[in-house]
Amino acid sequence: MDTDIPEEFWQGIEQFNQGEFYACHDTLEAIWIEAPVVDKKFYQGILQIAVGLYHLGNYNWRGAVILIGEGLNRLSDYQPEYGGIEVEQLVEDVSALLSEIQAAGQDRVDQIVLTDDPPLESVDKIFLRPPIIQKITANR
C-alpha cells in the first residue's frame, strides 16, 4: 500500500542522488518525524542509508556498515516498489555496495571513494559507484 508522499521527499531523493547525504538525512528526518506509522520505516531506511554513506565519506567504516545494514533491513518490507521509487533495485544496489565496503574492510576505509565515473585501474584507491534511487517510470 502506497500513501501520500510529501513533495519534500523528492528533494531528499535528489539530494541522495547528488551525493549530498547529510542534507538528504536532514530532509528525510523532518518527514520521518511526522510520517504515519506505515511510512516511518520507509523514510528511516533511506535516511539511514544516507547517513551510512555520509559516515563512509568521513572514513567511519563501522558507522557506515551498521547504518547501511539497518537501512536495508527497514526497506525490505517495502519491495518491490513504494512511495514512487524502485525499492527492490535500491536494496539490490545498496546490498552490493555494502558487500564491497565490508570486503574492503575497516583498515582500508580511507581508500574508498564513491564516484559515478571510476577509473579503469587504481593502485591506492577503491572506487565504488554510489547507489541511485530510481523513480518508478510510467511505461512499465
Which phi and psi angles does 85 have, rounded to 5°?
Answer: -125, 160
pLDDT in the model for residue 1? 42
- Residues 17-70 have pLDDT tens digits of 999 999 999 999 999 999 999 999 999 999 999 999 999 999 999 999 999 999
C-alpha–C-alpha distance, residues 107 and 29, integer Å: 31
Q: Which helix (H) or strand (E) holds 23?
A: helix 21-34
The residues with which 82 forms a beta bridge, in sequence order, are 85
User: Can you tell me the mean pLDDT for 130-136?
Assistant: 96
Would you place residue 3 in the very low, low, confident or very high pLDDT band (cuts 50, 70, 90)? low
The residues with which 112 forms a beta bridge, in sequence order, are 126
Instruction: Record the pTM.
Output: 0.93
User: Can you tell me the mean pLDDT for 86-110?
Assistant: 97
Which domains are present in the chain? 7-128 (1.10.3450.10)
